[in-house]
Structure 1
């Protein structure tokens, strides 16, 4: 895929900037002498026994864990037995919300999650997303496929996926469109609650909200770098919160861990910031047992950051206000070929380098 050429590291010293802040590590207070640059990998005995904190899922009446598991990254795990163990371990520690989408890995993500949730379905909140902004019948066919793959008779949350093009709100609100499918699915009892997700520009999400449909949830990227560049936290989060919608955070580490791999943030800083916002949950991409254990360790010791700590992270993130680590905003890296095709654009692979 085409990509920008982001710089490889932060321009200022994180040690000096976050001096004395109680953020990174696993709930340890960071001293002036040492600021960890990463969270150590934890094995099962290190994680121990605990239950994730929960919050209301907006006005739905459901309660969800403050950390959720993303379907795209789970779909990259080749061994189904490993997927089963990861999902079981997450549930054992109180994680009860699982995200997915019809198009993730051509349906494999839903299939893998469906297998892993056998015997556990009634204890969790299962989400998936419809991957069309077009007609009702196409959307309903996608729903039936998702239900089959996930081995369930209903979804707890069904979202419109990847609302990232400026004409998406117009298409979605048209007659006999995907909104009609949301209504029909709720009437049929195949879907309990509905929403949409979008990662490109806050103005698109705002137009979706301002056109008036009573969505139950909205999913958006939220992390310490977001306030400095096309900010969803500043522009969309307050509107959704005022309307009683459940806000689901995503891309806390940049989508594929860009903020971590480039040295801009530690996993603890990224996740603790995201979970300290007024959101129902933060959906995290977890593609291995090691990453699961890392996130569980952060979750186990999580305490909401203070207003001062949050602001220090926002101020630190301002130096990255060109989107270099938020490639879902600034490049085509996270735009699916399915969505591009529906809008008449060539696939990313077909574009000249």
Structure 2
């Protein structure tokens, strides 16, 4: 590593120490740890179970149920999902797993793609049926990845209007949004909300060891969320395994780095019991990275992170479900 790369890594981490102490943990070492979900006051586990992986075709119905229930039995109470994951199979499988009293033990989140109120409401109702529940704790506008998405969502008869009605009807409790393309789009979505006298309860975005170096959500969006006490949902801690292919960082390091940010929860996909156990172990034994540890890790990842090669969700359409299926937007 040359001096320029080291200084770049140090600069990427310089913003963090002033906000890292905002989120605390609430358990002794060896137990699942929990944080407060922004201004909602809800307590959520520092690691959340991603919904996409449990719906993959190579994961059996029985294994998906075992993964969900084992996660909950070990203290993971944040469940992630989406209306479009695996053609609805992810929600169906999670709904099956949440029977027999498991629903009452979790904070359930799902996402929808519709930009207009009618489409969004229809997708929400479908999610409720698949998940076998009468309400969702958190609904999020999925894949805010275009600069004009906020205007469509906040337009008269837009998706927000539909979700505000759903909240009034008791179908949802909290409202947030997700995206993985650009921090500038996230900032535009937040600004659009503020201009409409609305504050999101949560925001979901990629937070990982590569992001700090390239078009960074960590550096640009995270401080805004902390300032407004909006729940921070970190996703793609390993970039859907792509980051691990760099060969410069391990999965536990990726998880611990993301948990050391002022996140409320770090969502990770688990397609096997072994991967789930890895996430549980990191969460239960978590202690925040020191400034020196963080700087060293960012210095190690800097040489391979500067062009977004390992962040395909930013640099390609590989993860853009609504780009491949524009009809989902309504």
TM-score range, shorter chain: 0.7 to 0.9
Distance in 1, matches of 2:241 and 2:308, equals 14
Identify the residue that residue 294 of structure 2 maps to in structure 1. 310
Equivalent position SS for 2:147: coil
The gaps in structure 1 that reach 5 residues or longer are 1-11, 18-48, 345-353
**Residues in 1 aligned to 2:191 and 2:248: alpha-carbon distance in whole angstroms:** 34
Q: 1:321 Cα deviation (Å)? A: 1.1
Separation in 1, partners of 2:93, 2:323: 21
Distance 2:254 2:283 in 1: 12
Task: After superposing the two structures, state which structure 1 stretch, 207-216 or 62-71, moved more.
Answer: 207-216
Equivalent residue number for residue 257 of structure 2: 273
- Deviations 1:243-296, CA, capped at 9 Å, x for gaps: 010000000001x21111331310111000000000100000111111112222
Deviation sequence 1:125-183 (CA, Å, 0-9, x none): 000001122x1011111111000000100000000000001211121121110010121
The answer as to whether partners of 1:240 and 1:246 remain within 8 angstroms in 2 is yes
Question: Distance in 2 between the 1:306 and 1:264 partners?
Answer: 19
C-alpha distance in structure 2 between counterparts of 1:297 and 1:62, whole Å:
23
User: Number of residues paired by the alignment?
Assistant: 297
Within 5 Å, give how 1:275-290 maps onto structure 2.
275-290=259-274
Alignment partners' CA distance in 1, 2:327 and 2:222? 28
What do residues 14-69 of structure 1 show as CA deviations (whole Å, max 9, x unaligned)? xxx9xxxxxxxxxxxxxxxxxxxxxxxxxxxxxxx953100001111210000000
Alignment correspondent of 2:228: 243
- Residue of structure 2 aligned with 1:158, choices 126, 136, 139: 139
Q: Secondary structure at the match of 2:223?
A: helix
Match of 1:167 among 148, 168, 189: 148
Whole-angstrom distance in 2 between the partners of 1:294 and 1:243: 32
Q: Does the 8 Å CA contact 2:252/2:278 hold for their aligned counterparts?
A: no
- 8 Å CA contact 1:202, 1:235 repeated in 2: yes
Question: Matches of residues 1-353 of structure 1 in structure 2 within 5 Å?
Answer: 51-76=31-56, 78-118=59-99, 119-133=101-115, 135-211=116-192, 212=194, 213-254=198-239, 256-319=240-303, 320-337=305-322, 340-342=325-327
The whole-number CA distance in structure 2 between the counterparts of 1:314 and 1:187 is 44
The secondary structure found in structure 2 opposite 1:313 is helix
Partner of 1:23: none
Structure 2 Cα separation of the partners of residues 99 and 216 of structure 1: 15
Contact 1:132 1:339 in 2 (8 A): no
**What is the root-mean-square deviation of aligned Cα atoms in Å?**
1.9
Name structure 2 gaps, 5 residues minimum: 7-28
Q: Compare the two structures and name the one with the higher helix fraction.
A: 2
For the pair shown, the structure with the greater C-alpha radius of gyration is: 1
Aligned counterparts of 1:183 and 1:249: Cα–Cα separation in 2:
24
Contact 2:34 2:45 in 1 (8 A): yes
What CA distance in whole angstroms lies between the structure 1 residues aligned with 2:71 and 2:161?
A: 34
Counterpart contact for 2:137–2:172, Cα < 8 Å: yes
